[in-house]
Structure 1
Amino acid sequence: MNTLASPAQLRASFFRWALFMVPLVLLVGFAAGQLGGPDTPWFAALEKPALFPPSIVFPIVWTTLFVLIGLALAMVASAWGAVGRGVALVVFAIHFVVTQGWTLVFFGLQDMFAGLMVLGFGIASLLIALAFIARVRRTAALLLLPYLAWLCFAGVLNYQFIVENPDGGPRGMSGAATRVEL
């Protein structure tokens, strides 16, 4: 026998990893979304760029991307013995955790410029992660290309928000009411 695992065992390993990775990625994305969101008076008062899509697009796209990310990571994680497997997973994990901080920076801290820097890091670090992932499983890297495209779109959109709102938008609009008693 010249193989370490049968095709059935390899499929089973992938499915086990997918059952772990897809929910994990969805959970990280959901948790990041709880750190801030577009439902603030500050964001409502911003001038929206012409290319800003309808709000319903974002949860649909992100959920789809998170599932693709989870499946791609499951492909890499299930590649036992592949050279660079661990490095690819660690590099992607660092990329993903930092990039998910964009929601907090943009919506929570109301800092569009820092948000653009987070996206710039996200795009650059994803390109590095893709190089490592492609060495382990080329199909996994291909599954991540829509995510790369969306991050690039998000970067352009973030930049357009800065152009449309050069003053950073109305400051201090957290949605909290101030009560004054005389």
Structure 2
Amino acid sequence: MVIFLGWLLLVALVAMIGAFTSPGAWYAELEKPPLTPPGWVFSVVWPILYLLMVIAAWRVTLRVSPEQRGTVLWPFVAQLAVNGLWSLLFFGMNLMVVALLDLVLLWGLLLLTIRRFARISSLAAWLLVPYLAWVSFAGYLNAGIVWLNG
């Protein structure tokens, strides 16, 4: 239970970064690509994805020795940091292109995380697939915004 709560706290800290960097007037004025969902969708999707991340990391942590945890979990922790950085880059600093590059890095780290997790728990890996799909969609949205407002 302590491990689960630790992962929950870490993921919650990343989620708070996104909560503190709200879109604001700048984002509202941008031209958006087709299929851009209304703002409330993000408020529903992200908590679900964060919970799936916590469960995946928890399952993997319980299945590896303490000596293996650093090797197995570093891509997961790195992608969390890159995830939190995106909100700061895009909404906080309005650096759309840099944020898009951040998403490319996030996507790669997430693929690496899924591969590492799959060796230990196929369920943990599958729990991250919706997150990968959402990050891919976010990449489309970010690239579309760059293209339309460049």
TM-score, normalization: structure 1?
Answer: 0.76
2:6 pairs with 20, 27, 30, which one?
20
Verify: 1:104 aligned to 2:88, yes or no: yes
Partner of 2:103: 119
Offset at residue 84 of structure 1 (A): 4.5
Contact 2:59 2:121 in 1 (8 A): yes
Offset at residue 81 of structure 1 (A): 2.8
1:90 pairs with 45, 68, 74, which one?
74
Identity of matched residues, %:
37
Partner of 1:63: 47
Contact 1:85 1:136 in 2 (8 A): no
CA distance, structure 2, for counterparts of residue 82 and residue 109 of structure 1? 38
CA distance, structure 1, for counterparts of residue 7 and residue 45 of structure 2? 18
CA RMSD of aligned residues (A): 1.7
Q: Which runs of 4+ in 1 moved over 6 A?
A: none
Contact 2:11 2:80 in 1 (8 A): no
1:38 pairs with 19, 23, 31, which one?
23
**Structure with higher helix content:** 2
Task: Return 5+ residue gaps in structure 2 as ranges.
Answer: none
Task: Return 5+ residue gaps in structure 1 as ranges.
Answer: 1-14, 167-182
Offset at residue 136 of structure 1 (A): 1.6
Offset at residue 59 of structure 1 (A): 1.1
Offset at residue 33 of structure 1 (A): 3.0
Residue correspondences, number: 150
CA distance, structure 1, for counterparts of residue 119 and residue 88 of structure 2? 33
